[in-house]
Structures are given as C-alpha cells and as structure tokens.
Amino acid sequence: MIFSEIIKMAWSSLGTNKLRSALTMLGITIGVFSVISVMTAIGALQYSIENGISFLGSNIFQFGKYPANISASGDVQEKFRNRHNITYKQALHYYRLMRDEAREICLKCFGHDIKAQAVYNGVKTTPSLLIVGTNRSFLTANAYTLGYGRNLNDEDVELSRRVIVVGKIIEKRLFPHETPIGKVVRVSGHTYTIVGVLAEKGTAFGQSQDDLCIMPITRFFEDYGEAKRTVNIATQAFTQDTYNRTFDRAIGAMRIARGLRPDQPNDFEVYSNDSLKSAFVNVAGYVRVGAFVISLIALVAAGIGIMNIMLVSVTERTKEIGVRKSIGARSRDILRQFLTEAVFISEAGGVLGIILGIVAGDLLAMWLKVDLIFPYGWAIAGLLVCSAVGIGFGLYPAYRAANLDPIEALRYE
C-alpha cells in the first residue's frame, strides 16, 4: 500500500473527529511547548552570556562576602550568614598590600538597602537609584565608561568630598536641557555636586544599569553608615599573562587583611567573569533538567491520552476494520493506518508546540534584551520524541486493530 494513501486515510479519519483529535494533540503541544520555550530562553541567555555580556571588566577578579550564586540551598547560606563583613579597614589593608601588584583596585560598597531618590529644582527621579560608594577604579571594574565630566579621583576619596558621578537615566530625568556638571542635587537628604556622567550601558536581564550614582566610598560611609556593610574588592591584573600570579598574591593579601591563621579556610569568596558565567551555566543546567523532566512527564501523560483515544477509535471503527479486511486489507495495512493516525496527532501537536515554544522563548529573550536563537537541536529532538510517543503509545491500539478477527469485526454493531 502506498504511503501517501495511508496519510490520506489518517487525515480523513482524524478530520471526522476534529475536536477529539485537537484535544489529544493539545496534550502533546503542551509537553513540547514547555520544554522548547524554556530551552529557547535559556539557550538565548546562555549564548549572550558566553559571547557578549561581561559581568566584570577584563582580567578582573573580585572578593566578596557572599558567592555569586546566592540561589544556593538553605544550609549553604547558613555558612555565609555567620561570616564577618569585609570592613573598609580590611579592604584598605588589602589595598595597601596589593597596590603595586595590580593595575586597578576597586573598593566598592553597594547601598542596595537605600531607596535613593535624586532631587534637583523640584524634579525627582524614581526612588530606586542605586548608590555606590567606591573609588576611581569603579568604571574599569564594572565595565562602565565615562560619558563626560570627570571620574572620581583619589583626592575625592581621601577628603570624602561631596561629589557624585551619575548614570544616564538621572541625567536625562533631571537635566534634560542643561549640563549637570557642577550642579548640586539632593540624594536621600544629602547634597552632592555632580562632577561626571556615565555613558549609557543599557539593560542586563531586564534591569537598567544606568540608574545609579557613584560617590567616594568615604563619603558613602559618612552619610549612610559603615556598620553592617561589606566591601567588595575588584582587582585588575596588569595583563592576561600576570593574571594568575596576581590572583594568587591577592588571595594571600586578602587572608592577611582578614587576619586568618594558616590553618583557617578562606572566609571570603572570589569570583571572576569565568566563575560568574559558570555559576549561571550551573543554574541554567538545573533549569534545563527541570524543564526536561516536567515535559517528559507531560509527554507521557499526553501519550496515554493518545493511546486512550486510539483505543476508543479502534472500538468505534471495528466494523470499518472488518470491511477493510474483507476487501483485502492485510493486518499490516490496518496496523500502519492506525499507527499513522497516532503519529500524526503526536507530530502535529509537536510541531505546534515547537513553534509556540520558540516564539515564547524568543519573546522572553527579547524582553531580557539578548539575541534570539532558533534551537535546531531541540526542535529536531522534539520531533523525534513526538514520533516516539506516537509510535510508542499508538502501537498497542494499532496492534489490537490489526489483529481483529474479520468475521467478528464485520458482525460488530
């Protein structure tokens, strides 16, 4: 029997039960959709992280109290909670030890807890600015560039001057028609003179990176308090070649600054672009496995749905099977016909799920402002899995149909 004929038969018999076929198909669609959409979004994110986004500047590693991967489970977090903050004093100690070993050392303290709002001439920004107390190396360490004006300098830090460098959003909001340089703004009840404006950096993971203002770290501590704050230290090696040596010395310097005995483990975290990326890839891996397992369960459920519908269909069409056999259909013709129907439902559902999944995944990627991808591998895998589901769950009903006794089947009413 010709293959196109089998397709034609499957199509026409599915067409007679449109709603039923569509609902059965939907199960497969959902299963495939869930895996493809997650894989597309994660794939797009990972692609842009591996090829574009830099969390830190080049040749830079950073010390902090907490690891980058703070989504770790409860008992792990417990370990970090009892850690002492990296104090400004310790950070300065490190700074002195490492000053000649590194190109830049950036001490920074983020005011995540301060709901900062900048006011100028009665115009206000949103109360969601990020204040960072730092030094001149912040731009290098966090991959910012200066738009115009000047950067913070060492004197600003030494004298804890009331100066700030603001992000693009603040400039646009408060100074649409004039230069902000030299203007005095109020931020959370304190006044500062703007000395520079950062160039626009755009968004990462849906969050703007331009709604921040940086000030000398000493000023930051005076205005917002030093207690309960931990300092992050970013260190840039002179070159790629000296990176490892600088890294090793920095660990030693950090241990000295933290006052650790030789037998004590490090009570700080060190991370780099590579470790941040691999932390993300780790998380992405778990999400992938999760999505895969969930969709596998959904597909098994959908497959059972297909089997159920096909068994109903075989019973309903017993007479038809008898007629077909009486006019010369072989058992294998009947088997193929029913199997094709099952695979057809499953493939149609799968194709729909793949299309919807890629669209949804890429919409998510668009929202996160990362490059869109077409996950060929997952799409092909999806089709193969759907064929397997169709064949796997369609085989038994088709086998039942093929092995009906023609006499009994003809007599069936």
Question: Minimum distance from CB of 406 to other proteins (Å)?
Answer: 5
Q: Counting contacts by CB under 8 A, is residue 2 touching other proteins?
A: yes
Using CB under 8 A as the binding rule, whether residue 119 contacts other proteins is answered as no
* Rg, Å, the chain Cα set: 32
Please identify which residue in 161, 258, 277, 324 interacts with other proteins, judged by CB under 8 A: 324
Taking the complex as a whole, the smallest distance from the CB of residue 2 to other proteins amounts, in Å, to: 7
336 forms part of the interface with other proteins (CB under 8 A): no
Question: What's the rounded Cα separation, in Å, for the pair 386 and 392?
Answer: 10
Q: For residue 344, which phi and psi values (nearest 5 degrees)? A: -60, -50
If one asks whether residue 327 binds other proteins (CB under 8 A), the answer comes out as yes
The single residue among 222, 226, 267, 320 that binds other proteins, judged by CB under 8 A, is 320
Does residue 19 belong to the site contacting other proteins (CB under 8 A)?
no
227 or 327: CB nearest other proteins: 327
| Rounded least distance, CB 8 to other proteins, Å | 9
- Helix, strand, coil % in the chain, rounded to nearest 5: 55, 15, 30
For 305, 327, 334, 388, the CA distances from 323, given in Å and listed in that order, are 27, 6, 11, 30
Which residues contact residue 372 at a Cβ distance below 8 angstroms, ignoring those fewer than 6 apart? 44, 362, 365, 366
Paired tokens of 141:
């360490």
Smallest distance from the beta carbon of 331 to other proteins, in angstroms?
6
Residue 54 in the binding site for other proteins (CB under 8 A): no
Q: Is 333 a binder of other proteins (CB under 8 A)?
A: yes
Handedness of CA 91, 93, 95, 101 (dihedral sign): negative
Sign of CA dihedral 44, 48, 51, 56: negative
Cα distances (Å, whole numbers) of residue 325 to 100, 322, 398, 411:
91, 5, 14, 13
Q: Any idea what the Cα angle at residue 246 is, between residues 241 and 251, rounded to 5°?
A: 145
For position 40 contacting other proteins by CB under 8 A, the verdict is no
CA distance 277 to 189: 38
Does 7 participate in binding other proteins (rule CB under 8 A)? no
Least Å distance between CB 391 and other proteins?
22
Does the footprint of other proteins cover residue 16 (CB under 8 A)? yes
Residue 412 is a binding residue for other proteins (CB under 8 A):
no
1 binds other proteins (CB under 8 A): yes
CB of 217 or CB of 329, closer to other proteins: 329
The footprint of other proteins (CB under 8 A) covers 1-2, 5, 12-13, 16, 319-320, 322-333, 406-407, 410
